[in-house]
Amino acid sequence: MKIVGLVGAGHMGSGLGWALREGGHDVVTSVAGRSGRTVGLAREAGLRLLPRPVDVLAQADVILVVTPPGAALDAAREIAGLAAAPEVAARGTGRPLVADLNAVSPETATAAADLITGAGLDFVDGSISGPPPTVRPGARLYLSGPRAGEVAGLRWTHAHPVVVGDRAGAASAVKMSTASVYKGLVGLMAQAMRAAAAHGVLEPVMADLGDGFVTPYEVALASTKAHRYVAEMREIARSQAAAGLTPSLFEAFAEVWSDIAGRPLADGDPETVARGITADEVAGRLG
């Protein structure tokens, strides 16, 4: 049974770690220098905590990297640097396979791959669609690269791996397209609610949109992650520019989420958002 290591054991990372632990894997991570919330999430998920990040690379057969989009390249640089540590280098050809699951553009994924492979480690491009398995089972993990099948072959529970090709960047391209819809719609709804509230017409606007559209709860939940979304919107803009499309739309969404990140609704953590939060409460706390 492979040992799985996590770099980034926050809400999503710990959720994936729990899903793998439920499948029988020993899942390890280091929370050195991380917040009390992250430590709590890792412990609740039953992850085995190691003193240092280098210990994770020294023990794990597969490393899953789950960081905020803006930290993806820094994480790749750290892993590349740790690959030269005696504890890791001594493993020789048995050194860990690194799967980057961050929400980044194919171009950023390729840059991360260059850093990882330049350090003598193999790389799998990946992305995640859906909430952490601890919140709702069913997240899909898109994977690409020559060794993507090995990550897909882990004993996943409450999550579904999908191999989309042998080219690094393909899995990230899936995420950039799906996230442009999911997070774009939530950002659009947030702007509509704010504008409606400012004009004193929030109630009829919400009635017209109906319950089947983005809910106030979804807007509030996304707002607690707004600071992470800023970099992700810029990654989507970069991805769309590489496809020959205008980057302006998602550069503007980056501004939307940057503004929301500074509002009272963005305070707190995703797990603290009340499911019954109303449109009036959301609009009021967005200012």
CA distance 112 to 135: 29
Per-residue CA distances from 59 to 50, 68, 69, 221 (Å): 10, 24, 26, 35
Give the pLDDT of residue 4. Answer: 98
Helix (H) or strand (E) holding 159: strand 159-165
Summarize pLDDT for 3-29 with one digit per residue, the tens: 999 999 899 999 999 999 999 999 999
Give the pLDDT of residue 271. Answer: 87
Summarize pLDDT for 170-225 with one digit per residue, the tens: 999 999 999 999 999 999 999 999 999 999 999 999 999 987 889 999 999 999 99
Give the pLDDT of residue 2. Answer: 95
CA distance 176 to 178: 6
Give the pLDDT of residue 222. Answer: 97
Query: In the CATH scheme, what architecture does the domain 3-167 have?
Result: 3-Layer(aba) Sandwich (3.40)
Q: Is 92 exposed, middle or buried (0-12, 13-18, 19+ CB in 10 A)?
A: exposed
Give the pLDDT of residue 34. Answer: 87
Give the pLDDT of residue 92. Answer: 83
Region of 17 please: left (phi>0), alpha (psi -120 to 50) or beta: alpha
Residues of the chain where predicted confidence (pLDDT) is lower than 50: none
Annotated domain spans of the chain: 3-167, 174-286
Predicted model pTM:
0.94
